[in-house]
A = this chain, B = another copy of it.
Amino acid sequence: MANSFTEENYLKIIHNLSGSEGVEVSTNALAEGTSTRAASVTDMLKKLSEKELINYKKYQGVTLTETGEKLALKIIRKHRLWEVFLVDTLGFGWDEVHDIAEELEHIPSDRLVDRLAAFLGNPQFDPHGDPIPDAKGNMPTADYRKLSEVAEGERVAIMGVLDHETPFLQHLDRSGIMLGCRLEVKEINDYDKSALVLIDEVKTLFISQEVSKNLLVQRL
């Protein structure tokens, strides 16, 4: 009755695609998320459904059951704690840790996770600003806005990113943008919605809407 690496990945991806409201996830979305074919997804959905980890009715998409949700949160907790470890303890860049954490998240010892969390100081957010559920599955709350939704004149701090891909994170690195940076939105260009921002009171920079849509901020 243990759950395989593959099953765990499905639960995690269903959770991520399902959002906080627990919306139905489609077979095709899962095929894309798992990099497999839709037919393979259907097979796995039957299996997860038999194990009562998901609610599945043919052609209707899936949601996690309570048990499935708990398992998903456990895996997400592990993934994010390992990311903190890789960045804070081992000195990896935030653009390098996703794939390694993807493997580490399936190591199955509860005691390991709890000790790791304690060693790291029970962090609430990972290196990309994503919340880390506690051992009971409670997510720290944090209502962030996208930088693209901030009005001219507002002063905000960068709290997270929505795009976790290496190219985006490296672009931020090259621009000198990192978590915790303080921004003042000086001007928003009417034509392309790019923003002129003052970073940490020292440097001004243009940020395209493409980028600002993927930056999460909090009012200062």
Contacts and interface: CB of A to CB of B under 8 A. Distances in A.
A177 to B, nearest CB: 24
Contact of A107 (B96, B103, B119): B103
A8 to B, nearest CB: 13
Interface stretch (A69-77, A87-95, A180-188, A201-209): A87-95
Contacts of A86: 112
A176 interface: no
A contacts with B: majority SS = helix
A116 interface: yes
Contact of A119 (B90, B96, B109, B111): B90
Interface in A96-118: 96, 99-100, 103-104, 107-109, 111-112, 115-116
B112 A90 contact: yes
A189 to B, nearest CB: 40
A91 B107 contact: no
Contacts of A108: 103
Interface residues of A, number: 18
Contacts of A89: 119
Interface of A: 86, 89-92, 96, 99-100, 103-104, 107-109, 111-112, 115-116, 119
A191 B151 CA distance: 89
A96 B104 CA distance: 19
15 contacts: A86-B112, A89-B119, A90-B115, A90-B116, A90-B119, A91-B115, A91-B119, A92-B111, A92-B115, A96-B111, A99-B109, A100-B112, A103-B108, A103-B109, A104-B104
Given A90-B116, A91-B119, A92-B115, 8 more contacts: A89-B119, A90-B115, A90-B119, A91-B115, A99-B109, A100-B112, A103-B108, A103-B109
A116 to B, nearest CB: 6
Contacts of A96: 111
A107 B102 CA distance: 10
